[in-house]
Amino acid sequence: MLFNNIKKYLKSIHVTKEVFIGAVNRLWTLLSGPITIIFVLNYFSEITQGYFYTFKQLLALRVLTELGLGTVIIQFVSHEWAHLSVTKNGNITGKIEAKNRLASIIKFSFKWFFRASALLFIILLIIGMYLFGSKSDPTINWFWPWFFLAALTSFELLLIPGFSILTGCNDVFFVYSVQLLKAIINIIFIWIAIVLGLGIWSLVIGSGISIIISTIILGYFKADLIKKMIRVKINDNFEWKTEIWPMQWRIALSWLCGYFTYNLFTPVLFHFQGPEVAGQMGMTMSVISVIAFVPSLWIKPNMPQFGIHIAKKNYFELDKHFFKLLKVVLVFLLFTAFILWIGFYIINVYNFSFAARLLPLLPITLLIIAKTLSSSTSPFSDYLRAHKKEPFVIISVISSLLIAGSNIYFGSKFGAYEMVLGYLFIIIILTPISFTIWFTLRKKWHSAPYLHP
């Protein structure tokens, strides 16, 4: 009886197996984050903590070379997969035109990521040598850990086309399952390495083992299917410059802007205020970032289905599907933000020993508000992106320029509190503009008045 009630409740809040495995992944992130913090507090000095979190945030520079192609692949593949399917013996069946276009997209994506991987390695090395070399601490041997971490991150880029293709083909459960396994292995081996006294090498150990295992799983279970998709005699007029690039450069710019929006806090403080303050910001941001995961729990697993609805011009079902998910997302978004604030409040009120390794409660509160507001726009940008378009690029550019400028100014002249205050002020101004863009374009693209299903 209890099991049936739980199953009924999960169904009422639209928790499919894909959403469930995604939720488990985020739950693992939520639970493992504080545990990692405990390990860092007990085994790292404040200086090592600063290097640890700055390393992690700099790795997000992969957006410089990926240029949003992984997301674009999902949308384009899902539109073609609407006319294809897999037979019992594993063959691809459906419209010849869709097969041709799918093969073209896949071949192009693998070529792109091979070049992007090499470029990323060079970029990470150069930036790491500049940042850590200019602020190096004699007690930290940072070069070789950064070298191998850059190499592993670059190799991991080669896995993106495979997982993006499978996601676009609506094989979301497999992709999310591998990502969950990878996340668990990564964190567990980071913990082991920290306890063994390996310091910032722990990031290399965790990343290396998890990437190797996920690569083996992808190759063993899905290599044959991807090969069958590619082994199609291409006879179509697919053009990257006219079809993929118009969306890709906008997503790339949005992602790059997102990096400067959310990942510049710690490196700026590292440069101007030192590793101790950077460590406080990095640890705080690593916990608060859980808020941004909430929309993706429900929206990301359903993106391929959104694309299929749009390819068939079934806009009513698209909106019906989207609004059901949106209600759940907004409730859980507010709930998550509240729970996090309560946790930080208790840590500060009862003056736990590690409270000094976090930001004070006031900037934490401002960060939670800002992160909740910005995350509330995520479902709407994904909705529009499912149309193979990226209109939010304008907002991304404006917000990144404002926030990057604000971070550099306040980080160099004042400190973390002023940085956070400037960030919140900018988010408050831009959030209603984002909703206006979604409302306007939805009406225009669907050629119908706004109607809540």
pLDDT tens sequence across 141-185: 888 999 999 999 999 999 999 999 998 888 889 998 999 999 999
Please give the helix or strand (H or E) that residue 24 lies within, else none.
helix 17-43
Domain span at residue 152 reads 10-446
Q: Is residue 4 part of a domain?
A: no
Q: What is the DSSP string of 151-205?
A: HHHHHHGGGHHHHHHHHHTT-HHHHHHHHHHHHHHHHHHHHHHHHTT-TTHHHHH
Number of domains in the chain: 1
Residues forming a β-bridge with 85: 93
CA 205 vs. chain centroid, Å, equals 22
Helix axes 416-446, 393-413, angle to 10 degrees: 180
The token duo for 367 is 């960060």
Helix axes 201-230, 160-168, angle to 10 degrees: 50
Q: Is residue 50 part of a domain?
A: yes
Phi-psi region of 199 (alpha: psi -120 to 50; beta: other; left: phi over 0): left
Q: Is residue 323 part of a domain?
A: yes
Q: Is residue 147 part of a domain?
A: yes
Report the predicted TM-score, pTM, of the whole model to 2 decimal places.
Answer: 0.70
Asked if residue 290 lies in contact with residue 336, where contact means CB atoms within 8 angstroms, the answer is: yes
The maximal CA–CA distance of the chain, rounded, in angstroms, is 68
Residues forming a β-bridge with 93: 85
Share of the chain above pLDDT 90, in %: 32
Asked if residue 72 lies in contact with residue 248, where contact means CB atoms within 8 angstroms, the answer is: yes
> What sign does the dihedral 246-247-248-250 (CA atoms) show?
positive
The token duo for 169 is 């083909």
pLDDT tens sequence across 67-110: 778 888 888 888 888 888 888 777 888 888 888 888 888 888 88
Q: Is residue 451 part of a domain?
A: no
pLDDT tens sequence across 259-270: 666 777 888 888
